[in-house]
Amino acid sequence: MDDLILALGRIVGSAHVLTADAITPEYTHDEALTVAAVTPRAVVRPGSTEDVSAILALCDQQRVPVAARGGGTGLSGACTPLPDGIVLSLERMRRIVEIDGENQCAVCEPFVRLAELYAAAEDRQLMYPIVPGENSATVGGNVGTNAGGMQAVKYGVTRHQVLGLTAVLASGEVIRAGGKFVKVASGYDLTQLIIGSEGTLAIVTEVILKLVPRLPYRSTILAPFHTLEEVTRSVPKLLALGRQPLMLEYIDLMTMASILQRSGMDLGVPQEIRDRALAYLVIVTEGRDEERTAEDAQALGEHCQELGALDVFMLPSQAGRKLIEAREQSFWAAKAAGAGEIIDVVGPRAQIAAFVERASQVAQRNAAFVVGCGHAGDGNVHFAIFHGEAEVRNAVVRELLQTGIELGGAISGEHGIGLAKKAFYMEFEDPVRLALQRRIKAAFDPHNTLNPGTIFD
Ligand SMILES: Cc1cc2nc3c(=O)[nH]c(=O)nc-3n(C[C@H](O)[C@H](O)[C@H](O)COP(=O)(O)OP(=O)(O)OC[C@H]3O[C@@H](n4cnc5c(N)ncnc54)[C@H](O)[C@@H]3O)c2cc1C
């Protein structure tokens, strides 16, 4: 057995260092569609911040690359290890340390899965509002990717909920940034710098997350439109009403058909409307008062009709919940149908209609099939790209990302860059910003130990 494996065993106990056949396939990849699996030299499972610190100090000294892994549900290949590196799996650090009702926050170890946090917050009449749609994801992974999801239009993304964190630098030094307070003006904001850094700057070993009061009522409306452009054009106008929807999602015809088929749902939309509708808006409102929540939904629905919706359906609460659950399955539906890549371009809301129009031209010109759904309220479009030839598919992805940037947006709104989008990021990112990021990376991690080659080379 090599010296590194023995030394890692002395830190965490040999039962928590997996090598060779003990490394099961799940440690070799995440859910990215275009990133190949890689088997690492070892999988190491620390049980505490002290363990993480000792592992990183050792790996940094021996120049062994470290890929942090949470639930492995990421969509950009950002927890894929290197063959000579280790996977640092946080799976033993899964304690909800505290739900603090008075300060409305949760203190969590990194491997707390979202489903567990939702349940613990609910027990205290509170809610953790970040819902990226995959409840087996962990809070550490959410911090790593700055996860968003369907409720971001009202509550923002992970970075808006993180009050503070404990993190271990590549050297093994431990830092605590932020705390149980909602504002701070004391030096550079290291918490925010680490959020979204995809495991390249530090390993997060504890997170303090803001919770919000749980509002008991929800109303869901479904508005079919003739075209996707009409849907995306309506979004800024609907938000201008000030009714603060909890979710404002678009689903195109093909995606709606496939998620309904997967879930076995019938929304009761008459055939003559289904025949004409190429896209749907789903709007959810929430509130403390049942009548006012329904009134908000109704006002949004009436405005949809003024904006050209073919009809508006107020869904009964169970159907509304089922539709949102079905929408969460859209990635699996696209994967099952043979999608070659999923992209999540984000842009200014008012430019999304132009983006969608240009995307359909790109698809037509390349004889590719581009369909999807997305967080319309955030200007975050999720497209699944279908084409038999990888080269054409890649060219389509490249052109769509470039178009998003030209319209004032960015390559990814929430899935991250990882390995999957790295080549495009390095091509399109402003060289001055890229150089500054390299200097920041070198300040945190001078030997390039943490997730080397992720985001940029
Ligand atoms: C069906 C499906 C739907 C999804 N929908 C959405 C969506 O709507 N919105 C959205 O934002 N995402 C979505 N995702 C992507 C995914 O759920 C998120 O990226 C999530 O944040 C990943 O969490 P994880 O625990 O699985 O992290 P992993 O995939 O394990 O890791 C993600 C990144 O975080 C790093 N990391 C993990 N733990 C730590 C740590 N403790 N310290 C430092 N870095 C760490 C990893 O190195 C990697 O770079 C979806 C995924 C699936 C499969």
Least Cα distance to 76 among 341, 364, 434 occurs for 341
**Cα gap 153→97, rounded to integer Å:** 29
pLDDT at 191: 98
Name the token pair of 293: 């929540």
**What value does the mean pLDDT take over residues 425-454?**
98
Distance 140 CA to ligand 1 centre (A): 8
User: Would the CB of 451 count as within 6 Å of ligand 1?
Assistant: yes
pLDDT digits (tens, 9 = 90+) for 289-319: 999 999 999 999 999 999 999 999 999 999 9
Residue 208 pLDDT greater than 90, yes or no? yes
User: From the alpha carbon of 142, which atom of ligand 1 is closest?
Assistant: 21
**Cα gap 66→442, rounded to integer Å:** 15
User: Would the CB of 412 count as within 6 Å of ligand 1?
Assistant: no
Distance 134 CA to ligand 1 centre (A): 9
Which pLDDT band, with edges at 50, 70 and 90, does 40 fall under? very high
Residue 281 pLDDT greater than 90, yes or no? yes
pLDDT at 107: 98
Percent over 70 (pLDDT), the chain: 100
Beta bridge pairs of residue 436: none
- Report H helices in 96-172: 114-123, 139-145, 152-155, 158-161
Beta bridge pairs of residue 213: 126
pLDDT digits (tens, 9 = 90+) for 56-94: 999 999 999 999 999 999 999 999 999 999 999 999 999
**Cα gap 160→101, rounded to integer Å:** 19
Distance 194 CA to ligand 1 centre (A): 14
Q: CB under 8 Å to 250, separation ≥6 — which residues?
A: 228, 231, 232, 235, 279, 280, 281, 282, 373, 374, 376
**What value does the mean pLDDT take over residues 339-368?**
95
Residue 284 pLDDT greater than 80, yes or no? yes
Least Cα distance to 207 among 185, 187, 179, 181 occurs for 179
pLDDT at 42: 98
Integer Rg of the chain from CA: 22
Residue nearest atom 37 in ligand 1 by C-alpha distance: 141
Which pLDDT band, with edges at 50, 70 and 90, does 1 fall under? low
pLDDT digits (tens, 9 = 90+) for 2-31: 899 999 999 999 999 999 999 999 999 999
pLDDT at 97: 98
Name the token pair of 16: 């928590």
Q: Share the mean pLDDT of the chain.
A: 97
Residue 115 pLDDT greater than 80, yes or no? yes
| Single-letter residue type at 142 | N
**What value does the mean pLDDT take over residues 391-420?**
97
Which pLDDT band, with edges at 50, 70 and 90, does 175 fall under? very high
Phi/psi of residue 369, nearest 5 degrees: -115, 120
pLDDT digits (tens, 9 = 90+) for 210-269: 999 999 999 999 999 999 999 999 999 999 999 999 999 999 999 999 999 999 999 989
Distance 143 CA to ligand 1 centre (A): 8
**What value does the mean pLDDT take over residues 122-126?**
97
Q: CB under 8 Å to 288, separation ≥6 — which residues?
A: 215, 216, 217
The residue whose two tokens read 């990302």 is: 401
Residue 61 burial (CB count, 10 A): 13
**Cα gap 220→249, rounded to integer Å:** 11
Percent over 90 (pLDDT), the chain: 99
**How far is Cα of residue 25 from the mean position of the Cα atoms in its chain?**
22
